[in-house]
Amino acid sequence: MPQSAHFKEKIRFQKNKKMADEITKLIPLSSDVYDAFCQSERELFVPQGMSLHAYKLDALPLVANQWISSPLTVAKMTEALTCKGADSVLEIGCGSGYQALILSKLIRRVFTIERIDRLLKEAKERFKALGVTNIHTRFDDGQNGWREFAPYDRILFSASTPHIPAKLFEQLKIGGILVAPIEKGQKQIITRFTKTEEGLISKPLEECLFVPVINGREF
């Protein structure tokens, strides 16, 4: 690696670490999740011209009225997913690809679906530039899931919804965990569902703010 490139990588790591330290002041992070944030190039996932804001704990706008979630929200969703011991995860709503990148540091196989073609193409270019090979992408309405590789140990729903389609729970392993922002009146609540032999156990965790899920695909 050229010296200049190595220097830039070192600076980014320091900025990622500082951001992770800021997150730990607000919520507890497991050591694995903390390391994943330190190793994930957030600056590469924000829109051009917004690099100065990349390491702030704020959501940032993307194309097509979408947003890249704040690092704090990504951390909360990742911790709620309880990645330790999981081998596969399905993400509904790839967006910029940043959440998938974090998951790729924690889980061996990441499957992520995006309904907006332009967003998915940009995310794939970022994964390729970083040499990430364990993230698999699909252009589709994420509410359909991805049956080919089911069942999954974990499913992460990265858009708010009043309810989770039954077909997604069907693609979750027994003992698996699904995390989603569930709409309750005017509020959105991060909710963790655990699938058991007897049925689903749901646990509301805390309020959040996500863009709502939209049906279909957008070219």
Active site residues: 69
Give me 148's structure tokens.
């080919």
Pairing verdict, β 172-184 and 152-157: parallel
Q: Report how far residue 72's alpha carbon sits from residue 65's, in angstroms, rounded to the nearest whole number.
A: 20
Q: Tokens at residue 107, please?
A: 């889980």
Task: Catalogue the E-assigned strands of the chain.
Answer: 60-61, 67-68, 88-92, 109-114, 135-139, 152-157, 172-184, 187-196, 199-207
The CA distance from 215 to 87, in Å, is: 28
